[in-house]
Chains A and B, each alone.
Chain A
Amino acid sequence: EVHLEQSRAEVRKSGESLKIFCQVSGYTFTSHWIAWVRQRPGKGLEWLGIVYPGDSDTRYSPAIQGQVIISADKTTNTAFLEWGGLKASDTGIYFCARQRSLIVSIGTGWYDFWGQGTHVTVSS
């Protein structure tokens, strides 16, 4: 059974660093892109970026490029989302999701399994 388990809720202050994780099970971690999707309070879904655990290739949304680092560790089947200096506007729920596609190398597709989400609260 496919499962994506995310880290618990985090509370930080502006300027602090944070790294959250998404540990997967039930499928071959290195064969699918993993995406990170943000949902700010009361708002919609925002695609942040993806990582391909097979070779650690990453792609970012232009809106988030340079603000976060997405990575993966194939020895532990875990994907990560990391901030070097949080801002209040980073407050939200962060979901990881497994990407499916007809052509894996492209890096776009639909998302069939999702983690439960990690609530991140950043106070100013």
Chain B
Amino acid sequence: EIVLTQSPGTLSLSPGERATLSCRASRSVARTYVAWYQQKPGQAPRLLIYDGSTRATGIPDRFTGSEFGTDFTLTISGLEPDDFAVYYCQYYGASPPDTFGQGTKLEIK
């Protein structure tokens, strides 16, 4: 079973800056079966990215997903006040279970 480790645990930035969130898999994966979600307090998670880099419906191009080996990255350009939330990566492989990272909290500096 793949284990996902997200870093940093908390990221403090100002509106307008760029956020880089990391998600590392415990072993190499054959394909980029990674999704990213945003969760705000009291709400359900919201899908941002799937298949490593494909934006979900309605997600602005400020959100970009990429990968290099076992490292997956979510980049948010030009942070807006509404972007400050917790972000989770998720891996979906050749068989269940799917797994989530422990989350990165993006907070206003």
Q: Show the binding face of A for B, using Cβ within 8 Å.
A: 35, 37, 44-47, 49-50, 59-62, 95, 97, 100-101, 106-112, 114-117
Contacts and interface: CB of A to CB of B under 8 A. Distances in A.
B103 A44 contact: yes
A59 B45 contact: no
Describe A's contact surface by its main secondary structure.
Answer: strand
A86 B41 CA distance: 26
Contact of A108 (B33, B57, B103): B33
Interface stretch (B20-28, B71-79, B91-99): B91-99
A35 B98 contact: yes
23 contacts: A37-B100, A45-B39, A45-B100, A46-B100, A47-B99, A50-B96, A59-B96, A60-B96, A61-B97, A62-B1, A62-B97, A95-B44, A106-B94, A106-B95, A108-B96, A109-B98, A110-B47, A110-B92, A111-B37, A112-B50, A114-B45, A116-B44, A117-B44
Contacts of B57: 112
B15 interface: no
A44 B88 contact: yes
Interface of B: 1, 33, 35, 37, 39, 44-47, 50-51, 56-57, 88, 90, 92-103
